[in-house]
A and B are shown apart, each in its own frame.
Chain A
């Protein structure tokens, strides 16, 4: 087994072209290996110290969040908190302070777990993943990226270098809420993100995506019908659609029936919190604590 520390992004891409797998925080890779989920790769290239991956750059139309940005940064960075609040909500709920200080956005996305917290926020914000190899750079939609639990469509030599998120219009807000049985060291039982744009008192756009109720992060469809309706009506419609469209499993954490019920509750609360933010209300990150959802405050 070999372990090398990349000194530059090119260095990392070359190592991956030669068969190495990347490690950033290692919060999935190392823990999974110790729990027997899979052996560590034969060759590992550490990318956690690359400044190229650690920047948050606000462009004219798109904000580029480096794949190496940690959850601890996401939950406190002013741009993320103000503009992409749902990502900050999600990052703040990941694991513990130790996990958040080393775990990264790119790692969360590329691990491909349907229980990932940052996934649903990225979907409702319309994010794309930037994948780079020695030869090429491409952007893929998340829908295209995630192909199943723990699997992505990225090639073995491609590194996720950033998430590209369209800048938000005025009068919009987003939020992520999740069901949790305790307030730290927790994984999503179910979770929901919503992004809402308002036109006065009515909803002009709404997107909702769901955590841990399908093989991949699931975007709720058919919400076009709520355009023009009140926030309350939109929230109820989102809840109903979420419960209907979810295909949850029964496992150690919850039964399918309980997940189907609570995903509706989470969707309703996510739409409500996103809309309140769109109206200019400041709801502190994470919304789970501020509003007392999930493990009540």
Chain B
């Protein structure tokens, strides 16, 4: 479908953003506001022997310098509470915050930062994943058991969480297999790279603090402040101006507590604005590096009979929200295939790198790239076409997946067929320097509680008060549409009040593809409440039964008797003088799918997929074999994300996810030096794809009404498009050079080196 054929949706924040009238956090100024800057550790692992801020405090224009001594002694994080706001005793990565400075200008603040004296005893730096899990490895954290640990979080040594999936008897099945292929793939770390570096402003009035911040999840930010500064929820208000992208990088609390504490100490509002270098190096959000060893056994017909895998994931220095990563990665290496015998062990390993955290579909692009490249090696080993091999082995409706989940109505088979047909797989004649590559993937939908309030005013206009957050997720369009649909109004009659924790009910914000899935369900419920009130009012006025009232096109009418009708605005006017039209809604709990016949150690909520989304991407790639430079010419993307409510936003998510996937496939990789510091923390050297690199993208949706899903059968869609693109590109390159490139990103030089190995071999 061409974009011009799509129904019109109003992106409510669009005009503000494109004309420049919209305000982002960094654009704001408050009276008396000071500039905040951080002093970072600068070393990757060391014991602090001296931290002296007296010289910094003495600089004229400096209002406050705070360290761990100036905030409550709270250790926090998900899974393992391993961290403090400011480094305490030991620093474990070079971007760890030692101190914060508030000063009259950024220049004075920087002088004060430079005047802070810190001395260290160096500790051994842990950066190599395989060395880190050896028994004799130095430890990043001496005593994990000294921390508060929650959930099923098996840990030992440098292993933060260990997760295993086991089903059937993989050893026996592997021994009996007709063909066995083992592969090893290594993914470098990468970054979310939102175009807006983060910014935080905090202002106190009495014992209350208001924080403006560029977060994706305002309630995470608020809860982080409450937890670390030991404040009640009612005293902390988080407001989010426009957000310039997040891609997961702005989930979770980040520097809101630091700036709140700093502003309290300085007795003035304080503003932190990150440089690009800080945005790359400091936050606990980095896509984790990963080593995947996977072995698969096939029977004589090409059916997968067994799969085993060993995964190591680079957690970095602290748990951000990463405790589920090991299990999530294991699921992606298992893949959406029918495999009766499975054992995958995954370990999330502490290192002295920047912490890893959720970046768009955490663990999936790397895990999928590895296992889909491996899948083409399996197909090649038995001389089968990669499309046919997948058709033979994928999960279909009613099948049992690799952890024993039985899938209800799913559309992976149709994704595969439609993507192949769209690309012309097997029928399109390609030049010698071009090839297709195919990859499939999956991603769950998540239930989390979310709420919504709603009010209809005397003029018939509606405000939806929601905890949803707009960072490109489309909530400004789709939530309005859901409300308008229930109320028989036009989307333009509905406005969102959002990104303010004091106003809206709690919710997951823009995380985990959950905006529509959870906030949408809450909005639907709130709208149904007002719709019910309107029907009652109309029923009285039209002398009909409320059950017979239809709300459509701005009017309440009696079903079957369209002449008996009253404009909704008239009902709203009347209600404004009587009982006000107010609604509220909260998500109903959804049933988590059960699993049978498997054991899952380190259960972190990823062993079964609620309302699973399925994807197939086919990439057409041209390769300059003389240099190894690959260019993606076309991507044919077919997604099962359930019902598509907003095609404009859905196409946008797929196209953006694919472009991010191309970057991760070819050019986006974080490079480290031997001390654990990033070498390419800048946009010239960390190479995002540009719009000039964008391929033709042909997107289709398999729309299946999914039970146990979001509004009108919708699943999530923000993360899934990022999952299989690198795998498809990998398989196209492998088709051109005879073997896969075993390290991600598959840079031109790595492609060239792989060609050279082939020649040598």
Q: Could you tell me which A residues sit within 8 Å of B by CB distance?
A: 35, 96, 179-187, 252-255, 258, 261-262, 265, 292-297
Contacts and interface: CB of A to CB of B under 8 A. Distances in A.
A294 B692 contact: no
Contact of B629 (A184, A187, A252, A295): A295
A181 B684 contact: no
A183 B693 contact: yes
Nearest to A294: B629
B680 A292 contact: no
Contact of A35 (B433, B682, B687, B692): B682
Contacts of A297: 631
Given A181-B629, A181-B747, A294 B624 contact: yes
Contacts of B753: 258
Given A258-B752, A294-B629, 10 more contacts: A181-B629, A181-B747, A182-B690, A183-B693, A253-B685, A258-B753, A294-B624, A295-B629, A296-B623, A296-B631
A111 B66 CA distance: 42
Nearest to A187: B684
Given A35-B682, A258-B749, A295-B629, A182 B624 contact: no
B667 interface: yes
Given A179-B627, A184-B692, A252 B671 contact: yes
B282 interface: no
Interface in B586-624: 622-624
B268 to A, nearest CB: 27
B496 interface: no
Contacts of B667: 181-182
B690 A185 contact: yes
A258 B626 CA distance: 11
6 contacts: A180-B629, A182-B688, A252-B679, A262-B626, A295-B624, A295-B631
B635 interface: no
A294 B630 CA distance: 9
Given A253-B685, A293-B624, A295-B629, A184 B679 contact: no
A282 B292 CA distance: 50
Contacts of B749: 254-255, 258
A128 to B, nearest CB: 30
Looking at B622, B623, B624, B667, which has the most chain A CB atoms within 10 Å of its CB? B624
List the 6 shortest-distance A-B pairs measured between CB atoms, nearest first: A183-B692, A184-B692, A184-B690, A258-B749, A265-B626, A296-B624
Nearest to A261: B752
Nearest to B684: A187
B565 interface: no
B622 A296 contact: yes
* Chain B CB within 10 Å, residue with most, of A181, A184, A185: A181
B624 A292 contact: yes
Given A258-B749, A258-B752, A296-B631, A184 B691 contact: yes
Interface residues of B, number: 30
A188 B691 CA distance: 19
Contacts of B689: 182
Given A182-B690, A258-B749, A252 B685 contact: yes
A96 B685 CA distance: 16
A261 B690 CA distance: 26
Nearest to B747: A181
Nearest to B275: A34
B666 interface: yes
B748 interface: yes
B433 A295 contact: no
A180 B624 CA distance: 12
Contacts of B630: 296
Interface string B92-124: 000000000000000000000000000000000
Contact of A182 (B623, B627, B682, B693): B693
Interface string B655-692: 00000000000110001000000011011110111111
B629 A179 contact: yes
Given A181-B748, A183-B690, A262 B627 contact: yes
Interface in B639-667: 666-667
Of the listed residues B630, B683, B693, the one surrounded by the most CB atoms of chain A closer than 10 A to its CB is B693
B217 to A, nearest CB: 30
B693 A295 contact: yes
Nearest to A258: B749
A296 B433 contact: yes
Nearest to B748: A181
Contacts of B747: 181
Contacts of A252: 671, 679-680, 685
Contacts of A184: 690-693
Nearest to A253: B685
B622 A182 contact: no
Contacts of B685: 252-253
A15 B202 CA distance: 45
Nearest to B749: A258
B760 to A, nearest CB: 14
Looking at B627, B689, B749, the one whose CB has the most chain A CB atoms below 10 A away is B627
A182 B684 contact: no
A182 B692 contact: yes
A135 to B, nearest CB: 38
A297 B693 CA distance: 10
